[in-house]
Structure 1
Amino acid sequence: MSENRSKRGLGRGLSALMSDVAESQDASENAAKAADKAVPIEKIEPNPDQPRRDFDEAAMQDLASSIGAKGIIQPLIVRPSPRKSGAYEIVAGERRWRAAQLAKLHDVPVIVREFDDTEVLEVAIIENIQRADLNPVEEAAGYSQLMERFGHTQEKLAQALGKSRSYIANLVRLLGLPDDVLTYLRDGRLSAGHARALITSDDPSGLASQVLKKGLSVRETEKLAKKSAGNIFSDEGKPKKKGSAQKDADTKALEGDLAANLGMKVALNHKPGAENGSMTISYTSLDELDDLCRKLTGS
């Protein structure tokens, strides 16, 4: 698959793929009749590159019970399997396929599409983003994948998905938080509002522990983060050097935006009260450096 293909932008891709996902998700009670065909369940295989790995057992049992009583209302979207003749690979609807097995169904209704590997992954990510039970980290990772792997911008994603650009930008920034804070966010122990407040802190892990221990609200967390940013002492308890002013929230937010779009760490050093400053982009491999050079030169 060529690089141009995987970075093709939003042309044919996202709008048409969004339509297919919506067709699957917004199906009515009679949607099974609109399926292209019914396929034996053993002739359907999951997408090996499916970004969603965790399926809640209790939710799956509930869905299986519903399918056992009413059947599959929303057809699965599949494509002819690239690995096995006569079989189909799931593009969207793996939860329904798994639940159908629990409900001991023999076949499932499907809509067949001729998607390439790139489109299959995009549809899987889009379907995951639109799930109601998605946690903020999963949603942010979906947006990040669409931007980094397929070249979509925050503006174009916002337009296609019916979100604001700031909503997408704020979620993607969360991925810059430490792993322990992201775990709290995945588990629901912290809300996205708490996490956004922690982004501006020099010690988000330490503040997150305080938030959990004291049961602080989002507003209280914001105040705590501002108070922490104003502390004149370093983490070691020594006075900070004169002139080492803390970055404001807007600067850190801009760093997050740039890092999300470049896929690399970005540091902005803007001199207070001046018009000049510097920007540092950090790469971790020569491949990342090559990618950065291509982006900067437009080649």
Structure 2
Amino acid sequence: MDQAALLVDTVCRLAGSEDLISAKSNRLRQAILNHDTPQLFKQLLEAFSLQGISDHAARSYMDHHDSPAWHDLQRATSLSPACSKLRSYWSFHGCGYRKDGRTCAEPGIACRCSLPQHDLRNGRLNQTTYSLFLFIRDVAGGNLVEWIDQTLDQASLNGTARYRVSRMRRALIDPLRNVFGVSDKLLNMALADILMAAPSNKLTWLEAGSGMIAIDTLVHNFLLRTGIQRRLGVQHRFGPACYGTGGCADIIARIAPRIDASQYNPGYPRIFPRFVQHALWRWCAQLELGICNGNNIDDRFRCDNKGCPLFHRCERVVLND
């Protein structure tokens, strides 16, 4: 763990963001204060759309196509929908809509269904849009802020203080994981932006948001290449195991208390797992520092980038042997 913390601390010093809370934070904070569910729905939907292709390509598509708003879906489901799957969150499963073939599980009524009428990038996003709307409407009672408040308050009180942040994170992630088409990575990224934009009196929001850890292939491969996974005896394939016991998220959560994030921004909490994870991502991402990724390293061989500040401490494990 000492070696792992040394490597990660070096990355944080070189790639740690001093302004991790997004430029949207003021608007989000106002939405939270106003219990503005439509705005928070829009924020989550934009985040969930960043999958399958590059962020730039996804945002470019969204810039040139209208996305359905909360009120659009309210109108579409206010009367009995043509498809029974759209009547509640619990009945929305097995939709199967595909944009390319204009097909779904109920082709006989597809022409009267509102779901295919939105020109999203692919049919999975149409399903995600309705699934998220129905979750907020039916499970969260139409008030996302109140649902988050209640969920975090309950989770923070049940159990020991040691696992408080982990409990709060799971209390939000576990039910939302059943929204169609969203992964743990997307949920952690999207919720972190919202929770960390909360006003200062919402301490549980800020605490849970700082603990949201999003694992993608870049972060997973960094922990593998550097030998951190091997040293800690937790080598695993990229996927659900990254969020399991001893997985990538767990590794970062264990390293974070050894790195004082407040030295990068006095407004940051001292223990800030999200900051640590984001620094690792920036270290690897092609459009950020781009040091440790498959575009610069031939994964059939050990990394030979002697200019990397970690070179002499990194185990340079072969990714594809």
Q: TM-score, normalised by structure 1?
A: 0.30
Larger Rg: 1
Of structures 1 and 2, the one with the larger relative CO (CA 8 A, separation 6+) is: 2
Q: TM-score, normalised by structure 2?
A: 0.28
Between Structure 1 and Structure 2, the one with more strand by share is: 1
